Amino acid sequence: MNKKESVQFVIDTLEELYPKTPIPLDHKDPYTLLIAVLLSAQSTDARVNTITPLLFAKANNPYDMVKLSIEEIKAIIRPVGLSPMKSKGIYGLSKMIIELHDGNVPNNFADLEAFPSVGHKTASVVMSQAFGVPAFPVDTHIHRLMYRWKLSNGKNVVQTEKDAKRLFPRELWNKLHLQIIYYGREYSPARGFDINKDIITKTIGRKEFL
C-alpha cells in the first residue's frame, strides 16, 4: 500500500467508524471553548467537563471572569492541574479580550496566540471548532498515530501538523482531526496498545511493530 492509498484508507476507515464527531469539550460559544481548551492542557476532556460548569456558573464571559481574582479562578480549576499558570492565563486573556477585542474572541491565529497560555494547538482548536476555519490541531493522539501509520516521522508536533495538512484534503481537516482523536482513545492508546485491535496500524503500519 503506497502513501496515497494509506491516506485514503485512513479517511475511509475513520469515516465509517465516526460519521459524527461531536466536540469533546462542553461549551456554548467561542469564549467558553477557548477556556475549556486552555484547561485541557495535560488533563482529560472528561475532567475538564466536570470543572467548567463550576467555573462558568460564576463567569462564562470575559467581563464576569475579570471580576474574579486569580486566586478564585485557581481554586475552582485546581483539579485539572497546572492551576497557577492556567488561572493567570484565563484572567489575562479575558482582560485582553475586553481591552483589545471589544469582549469578543478574535477569529485569527495571530491574536489568539498573543493571549497568555494560548499556544498554536489551542488556537487551532478554537479556529477549527468555534469558527469553522480549516485547521489541524495536533494532540498526543494525532502525533502518535501519524507516526504509527507511517504518515509522519514522529520528530515533533510541528512536523506532524505539516504532514497532516499536506496529506489530507483541506476540507476534511476539521472533522478528521477529531476522528483521529476518537480513534486513538478507543483503538490505539499510548498504554496497553494492541496492534490486533488497531485496524489501521495493523493494515498500513505493521512493519514498524514487528
The C-alpha cell at 78 is 485546581
**Residue 209: what pLDDT?**
54
**Residue 210: what pLDDT?**
44
Sequence ranges of the domains in the chain: 3-21+136-209, 30-129
Q: Does the CA dihedral 204-42-86-28 come out positive or negative?
A: positive
Print burial letters for 94-114: b (CB count within 10 Å at least 16), e (below 16): bebbbeeeeeebbeeeebbee
In this chain, the answer to whether the domains covering 3-21+136-209 and 30-129 adopt an identical fold is: no
Q: Does domain 30-129 have CATH number 3.20.20.70?
A: no
Cβ neighbours for 83, distance < 8 A, ≥ 6 positions apart:
74, 77
**Residue 193: what pLDDT?**
86
Q: Give dist(CA 96, CA 24) in Å, integer.
A: 26
Instruction: Please give the positions annotated as active site.
Output: 121, 139
The C-alpha cell at 88 is 493567570
Architecture of domain 3-21+136-209: Orthogonal Bundle (1.10)
**Residue 126: what pLDDT?**
98
The C-alpha cell at 75 is 481554586
Running along the chain, 210 residues long, what does each successive block of 10 average in pLDDT?
94 98 96 98 95 98 98 98 97 98 98 97 98 96 95 94 98 98 93 89 74
Convert 130-179 into a string of H (helix), E (strand) and C (coil).
CCCCCCCCCCHHHHHHHHHCCCCCCCCHHHHHHHHHHHCCHHHHHHHHHH
* Contact in structure between 81 and 43 (CB atoms under 8 Å): yes
* Contact in structure between 174 and 132 (CB atoms under 8 Å): yes
**Residue 1: what pLDDT?**
83
**Residue 76: what pLDDT?**
98
